[in-house]
Amino acid sequence: MKKVLAIMGSPRKGKNADQLLDKVLEGIKDSGEEVEIKKVYLKDLKISHCIGCGYCEKTGKCFMDDDMNVLYDEFDSADSVIIASPVYFNSVNSFTKAMIDRCQAYWSSKYVLNKPSIDRNKKRLGVFLGVGGAPETEDQFLGAKLVIDYFFRAVNNKYEKDILVPHTDEKAVWEREDIMKEAYETGKHLFDNF
């Protein structure tokens, strides 16, 4: 059985990022694959900010005892991580970024200590769903994609796909048949070449 960790970074349940994520998950459920899905709302978790103390550079782990401990285990056991976030100031929002920054422990364990705290040999797929309220511009999602790329590297996921939706202040994702179809098909075929 495959495992999917679906991370909802937006504080707004039922809105653009959440509905886009749910459509991908619907596709996964309809794929015929046996898949266990764990959906996590970051706003419901207690995740402290990384303080750059260097503890993980000595131990490979973060010293903080909060809800990130649950996510660390999930990252290691997942076959796919799907992350949905609104884009604020050309990057992921603060709930999402706080979680990503706490993955410094993975980077330190791999590249400073040479003792990975995540299974580096396990194949994992990463999908990023980004929504932005502003009208489309050429580099609207560039900052977010760079952050997500490094995040997926830290948690050993191949950055497989992204769906980036601009101008959601004007037209919601659920009003865009093409986007919702792409999201559904992304989920339905996520593990086709796994």
Domain around 100:
17-42+50-189
Torsion, Cα of 131, 132, 135, 138 (10° steps): -80
Q: Is residue 108 included in any domain, yes or no?
A: yes
Reported as type and span, the H/E element at residue 30 is none
Q: Is residue 3 included in any domain, yes or no?
A: no
Q: Looking at the predicted structure, is the pLDDT value of residue 193 above 90?
A: no
Residue 5, strand partner residues: 38, 81
**pLDDT tens, position by position, 95-137:** 999 999 999 999 999 999 999 989 889 999 999 999 999 988 8
Q: What is the pLDDT of residue 194?
A: 82
| Domains held by the chain: number | 1
Q: Is residue 7 included in any domain, yes or no?
A: no
Q: Is residue 129 included in any domain, yes or no?
A: yes
Give the CATH number, domain containing residue 160. Answer: 3.40.50.360
Q: Is residue 96 included in any domain, yes or no?
A: yes
**Separation of alpha carbons 102 and 74, rounded Å:** 14
Q: Is residue 81 included in any domain, yes or no?
A: yes
Please choose, from the candidates 78, 100, 187, 105, the residue with its C-alpha nearest in 3D space to the C-alpha of residue 144. 100
Provide the whole-model pTM: 0.95
Q: What is the pLDDT of residue 138?
A: 86
| Cβ atoms 170, 186 nearer than 8 A | no
